[in-house]
Structure 1
Amino acid sequence: MKAANSVVLFLVELVELGAPAAAAYWGFTVSWPLGLAAPAVLVASWALFGSPRAKYKTRGGAGRVGFEVLWFGAGVLALFAAGAPVRALALALVCGVSKALAVAWDQ
């Protein structure tokens, strides 16, 4: 079970990197400044609201779920907007599965 927990934590970390990467991918399809700004906005919002040491941390419950849906949803929508619907669907599925496992195993 300990190995499974480690795999889920690794998957969650990859997903957390996937959303800003998707935003950068979309941004660079539009212009290079947007390619730099889009992931910066996501990273800043994660630092302010989502990280364990966030200044305005969203606690558990509806607030946290809402923040994560918006944050990870931004990555999924960015991939759709960039013309990569298969990648967007894959990111959405991996986000959903990893978050469901993290909640099920209290991580």
Structure 2
Amino acid sequence: MLVLAKNANALLMFLLELGVLFSVGYWGFTLSAGWAVKLLVGIGGPALFVAAWALFGAGGGKNATYPLTGLARAALEILWFGGGALALYASGLAASAAVFYGLFIVNAVLRIVWNEV
């Protein structure tokens, strides 16, 4: 049963990662600016997040170009997933932002408890 819970938590982590990219893209397209800016931010924002994750956080740090560990990894996750939550909040979806970040906190705590960080 614990294996199933750990796998479900890993799936949640993956879905949260995708959620960050969706949230940042959504925020970009909801800006009150011209379509050129919306397109640039709506596509460029997630691209910057992907680049940061690939460099420092991919695969739990195992597949990253410059893997972070310990407090640096915790700071990366807080900023990265917090960025997704802030993007939702800035898009006018405050309740969704709170649920998103709450799910991240639950996921992170379970990964710490299960020594999966």
Counterpart pick for 1:41 among 35, 48, 53: 48
Post-superposition Cα deviations, 1:47-66, rounded to whole Å, max 9, x if no partner, equal 0001121111112x111111
- Is 1:25 the counterpart of 2:26 in the alignment? yes
Cα distance in structure 2, aligned partners of 1:9 and 1:42: 20
Within a 5 Å distance, the mapping from 1:45-56 to structure 2 comes to 45-51=52-58, 52-56=62-66
Q: Which has the higher relative contact order, 1 or 2, with Cα contacts under 8 A spaced 6 or more apart?
A: 1
- Structure 1 residue runs of 5 or longer lacking an equivalent are none
Cα distance in structure 2, aligned partners of 1:105 and 1:87: 27
The RMSD of aligned alpha carbons is: 0.9
Deviation for aligned residue 1:2: 1.1
Q: Secondary structure at the match of 2:66?
A: coil
Q: Structure 1 runs of 4+ off > 4 angstroms?
A: none
Aligned-pair identity (%): 38
Number of residue equivalences: 106
Deviation for aligned residue 1:69: 0.6
Task: Name 1:14's counterpart in structure 2.
Answer: 15
Bigger Rg, structure 1 or 2: 2
- Structure 2 residue runs of 5 or longer lacking an equivalent are 32-37
Task: Name 1:85's counterpart in structure 2.
Answer: 94
When normalised by structure 1's length, the TM-score is 0.94
